[in-house]
């Protein structure tokens, strides 16, 4: 299985460059990215003929009324310019029970991008390599659901795999720090940024709690825990996700560090119900006025919050010290 590995340049650029990789793995990574970009290029379904057809039919000319103008012709429906298909992340992992050669997992943004026709040419080129390659592809929503259900394969890829590539649109991985800083300094800079954000949320939480506005206090408590999970994912694995579902972030963070489950095990039965209450605090606060949260629930969740921050700070500091 091995230990959790993060790319050494994870804190330097959002679009990760795989330096010092095995030549076969680097070549496979290049084939996957280039082949997918070529296969996913949008093509109109009905292209105009390139040669004369000999058809003498002419469409009727539309007569316009006074002041009427022709609307521009829309692009074909299969040209999705607003949300084109793209690769979000590429992992390499090691699992002898699945395959003995190179093992690569690709996460794409749309389900239709997992169809075999997009990967036929890529798999054909990978089969021509000297080392055999096992390739598995899934879309982001499917990966998120599998992580929530604790599917063993996805938990293994996230906790034991190595991040080879990540799309640069990830807002949490962008760090405007100067290029001259070392990876440990960049990680510490990002850590301090998250700590300041968490402290601001906690200050507002205490203010609303003193005012006995427990609904707003619960929303700020939830925001602080969400920022803590973003901090954990960014520091431990070099990236996080632009998600606001706290259960999704918790599942991915606990896949990397099982110790993060300890703060929520304060009771044998009711801890999951309280976490579900916290999960809906943000949406309930802004959408439903009937959403309520009691003083006792705030105190119990605050205890879990402090335990989580303590464990998170310990794990992040250990990771930063390992980068030095």
| Structure confidence by residue, pLDDT tens digits, 36-45 | 888 877 665 5
- Strand 133-139 and strand 102-108: the pairing is parallel
pLDDT at 202: 93
CB 28 within 8 A of CB 104: yes
- Torsion region of 238: left, alpha or beta (phi above 0 gives left; psi -120 to 50 gives alpha): left
pLDDT at 186: 78
Contacts of 176 (CB under 8 A, 6+ apart): none
**Half-sphere exposure for 5 (CA within 13 Å, toward CB):** 15
* DSSP string across 120-143: HHHHHHHHTSSS-EEEEEEEHHHH
CA angle 205, 210, 216 (to 5 degrees): 40
Residue 69, both tokens: 């103008």
Alpha carbon distance 162, 146 (integer Å): 19
> If the chain, 324 residues long, is cut into consecutive pieces of 10 residues, what is the mean pLDDT of each piece?
36 45 83 85 59 62 72 52 73 75 86 87 88 87 81 82 69 48 78 90 92 87 90 80 76 84 68 73 61 84 90 89 77
pLDDT at 244: 67
CB 126 within 8 A of CB 155: no
pLDDT at 48: 54
**Half-sphere exposure for 52 (CA within 13 Å, toward CB):** 2
Q: What is the pTM of this model?
A: 0.59
pLDDT at 76: 47
pLDDT at 56: 66
**Cross-strand pairs, 138:** 107
- Kindly state the greatest CA–CA separation across the chain: 83
Alpha carbon distance 276, 264 (integer Å): 12
The secondary structure of residue 48, as a DSSP letter, is P
pLDDT at 44: 56
Domains of the chain plus CATH, in order, are: 23-39+84-166 (3.30.460), 183-323 (1.20.120.330)
pLDDT at 173: 43
Chain centroid to Cα 16, Å, comes to: 14
């Amino acid at each position: 299985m091995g230990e959790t590995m993060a790319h050494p340049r994870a804190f330097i650029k959002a679009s990760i460059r795989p330096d010092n990789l095995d030549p076969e793995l680097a070549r496979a990574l290049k084939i996957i990215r280039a082949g997918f970009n070529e296969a996913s290029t949008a093509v109109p379904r009905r292209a105009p003929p390139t040669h004369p057809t000999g058809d003498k039919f002419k469409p009727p000319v539309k007569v316009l009324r006074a002041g009427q103008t022709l609307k521009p012709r829309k692009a074909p429906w299969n040209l999705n310019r607003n949300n084109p298909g793209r690769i979000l992340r590429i992992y390499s992992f090691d699992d002898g029970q699945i395959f003995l050669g190179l093992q690569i997992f690709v996460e794409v943004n749309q389900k239709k991008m997992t169809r075999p026709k997009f990967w036929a040419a890529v798999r054909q080129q990978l089969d021509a390599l000297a080392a055999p390659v096992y390739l598995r592809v899934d879309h982001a929503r499917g990966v998120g659901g599998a992580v929530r259900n604790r599917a063993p394969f996805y938990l293994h890829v996230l906790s034991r795999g190595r991040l080879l590539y990540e799309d640069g649109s990830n807002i949490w991985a962008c760090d405007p720090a100067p290029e001259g800083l070392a990876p440990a300094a960049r990680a510490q800079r990002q850590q301090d940024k998250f700590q300041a954000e968490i402290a601001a949320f906690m200050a507002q939480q205490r203010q609303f709690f003193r005012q006995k506005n427990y609904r707003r206090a619960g929303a700020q408590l939830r925001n602080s825990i969400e920022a803590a999970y973003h901090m954990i994912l960014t520091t431990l694995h070099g990236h996080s996700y632009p998600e606001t579902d706290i259960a999704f972030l918790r599942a991915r963070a606990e896949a990397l560090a099982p110790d993060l489950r300890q703060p929520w095990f304060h009771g044998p039965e009711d801890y999951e119900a309280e976490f579900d209450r916290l999960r809906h605090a943000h949406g309930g606060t802004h959408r439903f006025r009937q959403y309520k949260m009691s003083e006792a629930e705030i105190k119990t969740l605050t205890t879990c919050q402090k335990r989580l921050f303590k464990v998170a700070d310990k794990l992040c500091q250990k990771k930063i010290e390992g980068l030095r």
